[in-house]
Amino acid sequence: HKYALFVLTALDPDDPEFVRQLLRPAEIKEDVNLMSHKKRVSLILKSDLFRKELEEVIQSQMKSGEFPGLSTSLLSLQHISDMFVSAPGKQPSSGGGFSKGGGVIPINDLRGGTVAAYPRNERMLRCKLASVHRLIDLFGWSTNIYTSVTVRISRNHEHFLIKPLGLLYHEVTASSLLRVDSKGEVWDGGSTILGINLSGWLLHSSVFASRPDIRCIIHLDTPATIAISCMKSGLLPICQEAMILGEVSYFADYNPISMPMSGAPAHSLSYGSSDNGDFSHFVTTALMEQRDKVHEALGPTARIFFVRGRGLFALGESVEETWHYATNAVVACETQLLLASL
């Protein structure tokens, strides 16, 4: 009763502030509360005390080795700490990726005329694919420039998006992605003058041709995934992440296709020119031979495809689903190797 009496006496119906709060729509109140919450979070993230405590937790866990399975998560947390609360002029700590500090390159750099050049669906896929490249670098899985993440733009047209050969994973943007066909011919060169890793693309193309239901492929060749791809036992169902993956396929007889020597890089050759007719025939023949082998090894339902010596290929009907399978597969591989060392 005393509390109710206090509330009634504290509320003055003639107070303009009280009337304004009373008449304010619920959506506005929610936005104001959210802005206040974001402001508090921002102040915490930028505080020196929070940064110091976060660094101490990360360093102590990584040094103790008490939870070795959390190494990837701790590395990601360290990167996030560097991105959000690093002091001006301080270089972020290096992880498994190639990014070594400096400014963050925007993912969606489609501006002006480039926006109108692509349909809305392709613009969205470009941003998603560039984001996946950043995540791979953030998790420390970008071990070289030769692996690729690819996506099928449409089921009606056999065109795909792939990063240019030469860009590091943290440098990939929406506009820099190339649009290629199943043979690797570039239809849209993006914002760079770089070509593609044709030998690597032919393997992606073979998977897409064998599985029309697949729209995205993530290739990861971390030490753990390469080790599992070379084991006779393959990936064992010994943890929850491995069970989530379901059926897993293996390709043990993969031999990289050696591109013939030419005056220009293989990825920059034009298939329409008469001078490169022999090369075009070579690519077509190699692609057909590899497709038959991949189709036989892959199967109709597998979402994880191990290629001996090349790591794993995560497959999905969307970029999000593919990332889900890729992350679980990496954790499963790391867990199996940890158990094997006991």
Type of residue at 54: L
Strands (E), the chain: 149-152, 159-162, 178-181, 186-188, 216-220, 248-251, 304-307, 311-316
Q: State the burial class of residue 263 (Cβ atoms within 10 Å of its Cβ: 0-12, 13-18, 19+).
A: exposed
Q: Is the pTM of this model over 0.85?
A: no
What pLDDT, on the 0 to 100 scale, is given for residue 261? 37
What pLDDT, on the 0 to 100 scale, is given for residue 79? 54
304-307 and 248-251 beta bridge pairing: parallel
Residue-by-residue pLDDT tens, the chain, 342 positions = 544 444 445 556 677 776 677 676 776 767 777 777 777 777 777 777 777 777 777 677 666 655 454 555 555 555 555 554 444 444 444 344 455 455 578 888 887 777 778 888 999 999 999 999 999 999 999 888 888 999 999 877 789 999 999 899 999 999 999 999 988 889 998 888 888 888 888 889 999 999 999 999 999 999 999 999 999 999 999 999 999 999 999 998 776 665 543 333 434 433 333 345 565 666 667 667 778 888 888 989 999 999 999 999 999 999 999 999 999 999 999 999 999 877
What pLDDT, on the 0 to 100 scale, is given for residue 50? 73
What pLDDT, on the 0 to 100 scale, is given for residue 284? 66
What pLDDT, on the 0 to 100 scale, is given for residue 260? 45
Q: Please state, in angstroms and rounded to a whole number, the distance separating the CA atoms of residues 186 and 188.
A: 6
Residues 6+ apart with CB under 8 A from 73: none
What pLDDT, on the 0 to 100 scale, is given for residue 320? 95
Q: Please state, in angstroms and rounded to a whole number, the distance separating the CA atoms of residues 117 and 72.
A: 38
**Nearest-5° angle of CA 90, CA 93, CA 96?**
150
Q: N- to C-terminal Cα distance for the chain? A: 66
Residue 155, Cβ neighbours under 10 Å: how many?
9
- Are 203 and 235 within 8 A, CB to CB? no
Q: State the burial class of residue 75 (Cβ atoms within 10 Å of its Cβ: 0-12, 13-18, 19+).
A: buried
What pLDDT, on the 0 to 100 scale, is given for residue 18? 66
What pLDDT, on the 0 to 100 scale, is given for residue 92? 41
Structural domains for the chain: 11-60 (no CATH), 113-259+276-341 (3.40.225.10)
